[in-house]
Amino acid sequence: MLRHQQGREGEDLARQFLERQGLTFVEANFKCDIGEIDLVMRDRRCWVFVEVKYRTLDDFANILEQIRPAQCQRIRQVAQLYVIQKRLNEHLTPMRFDVVAVVDALEQLYWLEDAF
């Protein structure tokens, strides 16, 4: 399976999982010049920006180690642009950054709320 296709499959699984946890889907793959956010969700009044990591092997720790500080900063910047583009009040918009790791080989998902 192509890497891009695997990534989309992982995002779909993560979306379905988060919806079962009570979050509401807003948008997938929000892109701008500096980066992309895999999923934008709502958890009650909180906007949740989700980074999805898809792997075929069970190496959860390795997945989290792959999210470097520079990537966290870039995701935060993209989220700020999202808030501006969607004309949300950035001072009154609670935001959270989650990570969902999808491990295909074991058909498991790991959800790390407020990861960074």
Domains, the chain, ranges and CATH? Answer: 3-112 (3.40.1350.10)
- Confidence category of residue 49, pLDDT binned at 50, 70, 90: very high
Q: How many CB atoms lie within 10 A of CB 78?
A: 19
pLDDT tens track for 63-108 = 667 788 999 999 999 999 999 999 988 678 899 999 998 887 667 8
Beta strand 46-55 with 35-43 is: antiparallel
Report the SS3 class of residue 24. strand
**pLDDT tier at 8, thresholds 50, 70, 90:** confident
Give me the pLDDT at residue 91, please. Answer: 75
Q: If phi over 0 gives left and psi between -120 and 50 gives alpha, with beta otherwise, what is residue 44?
A: left
